[in-house]
Amino acid sequence: MASKSRGKQRGEDIQQEDVFQAVVIADSFNVRFAPITNEKPKSLLPLANIPILDYTLEFLVTAGVQEIFVFCCHLADQIRTHIRQSKWSECSSCTITPVLSESCMSMGDALREIHDKSVIRSDFVLVFGDTVANLRLQDVLQEHKKRLQDKTNPQNKNSVMTMIFQKVPPGHRSRNKEDDIFLAVDQTSNRVLHYQRVREQSKLQIPVDVLADNLDVQLRYDLLDSQISVCSPEVLALFKDNFDYLNRDHFVKGLLDNEDIMEKTIHMCVLNDGYTGRVSNLQMYDTVSRDVICRWSYPLVPDTQTDNQGQIISHNRHNIYTSKDVMLAKGCVLEQNVLVGRGTRIGSNTRITDSVIGKDCKIGSDVVIENAYIWDGVTIEDQCCVDTAVICDNVVVYACTSVGPGCVLSYNVKVGPSVKIEARSRLQAAKDMDDDFGDELTEADQDAVSMINYGSKSQAFLHQPPEDSDDEDNDLVQDMFGLGIQSESSTEASSLSERSSDDEAMLDDEELFYSELLDTFVKAKEDNYNTENLILEINSLKHTYNIAIRDLYGMVMKGLIEIPLRDSQDLEPGAQLANVKKNFVRYKPLILNYIKSEESQLDCLHALEDFALSNKTVSTLLVKLLHILYDADILSEVVLIKWHNMEKEEEYKAIAKQVAPLIKWLEEAEEETSDEELGSD
């Protein structure tokens, strides 16, 4: 009986393994590459002179995929023609079918469409059409299948998706800021428990039950999401059922949140060797191009791939790739990581480093090109300077023009001569038409756009990104192309600055609260609030900003000192002090309401200390302030002495010295009183 069922199962296995299918989403449903993508779909943009889609298809075919469905919507015809003309059209081991749909607005729509066509019969690989990878998918597929066969563990059996990750430490250049993820995984079964995009947040929240319900949870922030996943056919059905799933994130989140109801699970696997990168924005375009040039993506490197015209490229020392018919004039230097396409001429004394240059380009003499991506048929005249830019097909850069970092020159743009193009400008050859969104550019805008001078022979217009970004994804992380010139030190520096900005975010609440508090005091003075109302207001503020009670004491005190000081900035110190004193008297009930216990007095003293450090006036007045507070019975001598005797850090020492006479006086006074008491006894 058992053997029979096993046999049967094996039969099924064979049937299932018959076809290894893949779905390629050849559209990113965003406008990161605008205006380039207005004319050419993103997946056909050249990466190291080969369309990105070819990398993806090559990867899938090498990985043993037999049937590929390429889903295209934006400019779908171009993709279809490209596939027809590509070398895979006669490929026997693999059939590639373009699926066209102009109406899709998201990846969810695309998968629903594919579900309707019911072409997917077994487990399939889901990738984006902008992936460069050389992973061994077969192993992942086997793992996924094995999991489904596992009868003992229902969680394994209900797995619908295996996500593929790679271990990449934070700060690595191939980590895309937009795709930074944080993951909670069950260590033994590799089941994904929690999946979250980090998006430069400093705080992450994990649902309690993730930690409570599982024994062996691993929290990981060292993974790069390859966005490649092995899926069961049910994934399509799930997308169909939940029409609000727009992308894979929604899907994963939906499944994880409703795990109990849907009874579906998601697993992950971490591949240690191999390369994966997604060209999701210009920054990543830069990174992935470099990786390809530096041969991390071997065998997907320029010299192993030939396009249908039989371009042969040779690989030389320092990763210099040149075609045979490239003409290099005397004195021109290709430093490192340079790819030069067929039929390109480069003039004398030109220096090129870390760049890709396409076919049939003409580059003049004394040109400096660094870190630039120059596509086909581009003309760059003498003495130009191009730094960190993308220059599309048939662009002309006239003599003595400098193209600043982060620039994008779209098709057929002409700039120059003798101008400097500002950093991060995106130029196109035609003016922005009224786009589909219907928000016409105002005339003032138009004027402003045409005002900028791109040289006498120029034909260029600034591209204005649509104001209303489609969804929250877009505006969160603007691509950093041209900003981060990746050297070790600068990444370190940026990570440092990030860290400090995190701290700022933490402080933010307190700062906001404090400024609000000051406003409240000012208003209270103007409108003559009574103390009770003021206390009420402060308390409610405290709750809104989630301020610890201990911080509150200090801040109230600080506020009460700062307001009168601010009002009497130009006055003599004596007058300022009088002002402060008046304020204390006025708000004494308020102070007493907060500062009652010894602890609160100590907190208040610490706050004053910090305040004195940051504010010069306060530090000069500190002793007198303390005296006033002591006289007003707000601070007791015991606390003052205790505070003074506490261990201090270096910076506070000066303050301690300053207040020493006061403390001494206090101590003496205390002794006297105790003496007197003794005497009276």
- Specify the residue, 487 or 528, whose C-beta has the smaller distance to another protein: 487
Shortest reach from residue 273's CB to another protein, in Å: 6
User: Shortest gap between Cβ of 318 and another protein (angstroms)?
Assistant: 8
Neighbours of 554 (CB within 10 A): 23
Pick the stretch among 1-9, 14-22, 30-38, 485-493 that binds another protein (CB under 8 A). 485-493
SS3 427: strand
Residue with Cβ nearer another protein (245 or 321): 321
Give the integer Cα–Cα distance in Å for 38 and 433.
11
Nearest approach in angstroms of CB 488 to another protein is 5
**Contact present, 83 and 52 (Cβ < 8 Å):** no
What distance in Å separates the CA atoms of residue 75 and residue 69, rounded to the nearest whole number?
16
CB nearer to another protein: give 243 or 298. 298
**Listed residue (246, 23, 269, 80) closest to 163, CA to CA:** 269
Q: If DSSP codes are grouped into helix, strand and coil, which group holds residue 41? A: coil
Among candidate residues 360, 355, 315, the one with its CA nearest the CA of residue 332 = 355
Q: Which of 244, 273, 467, 472 binds another protein (CB under 8 A)?
A: 273
Task: Give yes or no for a contact between 345 and 332, defined as CB atoms under 8 angstroms apart.
Answer: no
> In terms of CB distance, is 222 or 382 closer to another protein?
222
Minimum separation from the CB atom of position 62 to another protein (A): 18
**Residue 504, token pair as written in the block:** 């700022």
Q: Tell me which residue of 119, 126, 129, 113 sits closest to 95, measured CA to CA.
A: 119
- Pairing status of strand 159-167 against strand 124-128: unpaired
Residues 61-80 that bind another protein (CB under 8 A): none
Nearer to another protein, 118 or 272 (CB): 272
Please, what is the minimum distance in Å from the beta carbon of residue 652 to another protein?
Answer: 34
Contacts of 21 (CB under 8 A, 6+ apart): 65, 66, 67, 68, 69, 119, 120, 121, 122, 123, 124, 125
Query: Is 594 within 8 Å of 552 (Cβ atoms)?
Result: yes
270 binds another protein (CB under 8 A): no
d(Cα 131, Cα 13) in Å, to the nearest integer?
A: 29
- State the number of binding residues for another protein (CB under 8 A): 6
Coil/strand/helix, residue 543: helix
CB of 173 to another protein, least distance (A): 13
Contact 457, 414 (CB under 8 A): yes
Among 92, 103, 309, 487, binds another protein (CB under 8 A): 487
Binding letters toward another protein, positions 489-508, x by CB under 8 A: x-------------------
Which of these segments, 43-51, 84-92, 481-489, 586-594, binds another protein (CB under 8 A)?
481-489
How far apart are CB 14 and another protein at their closest, in Å?
30
DSSP assignment, residue 279? -
CB of 271 to another protein, least distance (A): 12
Output the smallest distance, CB 484 to another protein, in A.
Answer: 16
Q: How far is the CB of 317 from another protein (least distance, A)?
A: 7
Q: Closest approach of Cβ 390 to another protein, in Å?
A: 25
Nearer to another protein, 167 or 431 (CB): 167
Scored b (16 or more CB within 10 A) or e, 456-494 reads eebbbbbbbeeeeeeeebbeebebebbebeeeeeeeeee
Among 443, 488, 570, 647, binds another protein (CB under 8 A): 488
Q: Which residues lie closer than 8 Å to 306 by C-beta, 6 or more apart?
A: 312
- The minimum distance between CB 487 and another protein, in angstroms, equals 7
| Contacting range for another protein; rule: CB under 8 A; set: 353-361, 487-495, 576-584, 629-637 | 487-495
Contact pick of 92, 118, 152, 272 for another protein (by CB under 8 A): 272
Whole-number Å distance between alpha carbons of 183 and 206: 9
Burial of residue 650 (CB within 10 Å: 0-12, 13-18, 19+) is exposed
User: Which residue of 4, 151, 203, 317 would you call a contact of another protein, by CB under 8 A?
Assistant: 317
Residues whose CB falls within 8 Å of the CB of residue 215, separated by 6 or more in sequence, listed in order: none
Report the candidate in 202, 189, 184 with the shortest Cα–Cα distance to residue 256.
Answer: 184
CB of 538 to another protein, least distance (A): 50
Please list, in sequence order, all residues whose beta carbon lies within 8 angstroms of the beta carbon of residue 194, skipping any fewer than 6 positions away. 182, 183, 184, 206, 207, 210, 256
Which residues contact another protein by CB under 8 A? Answer: 272-273, 317, 487-489
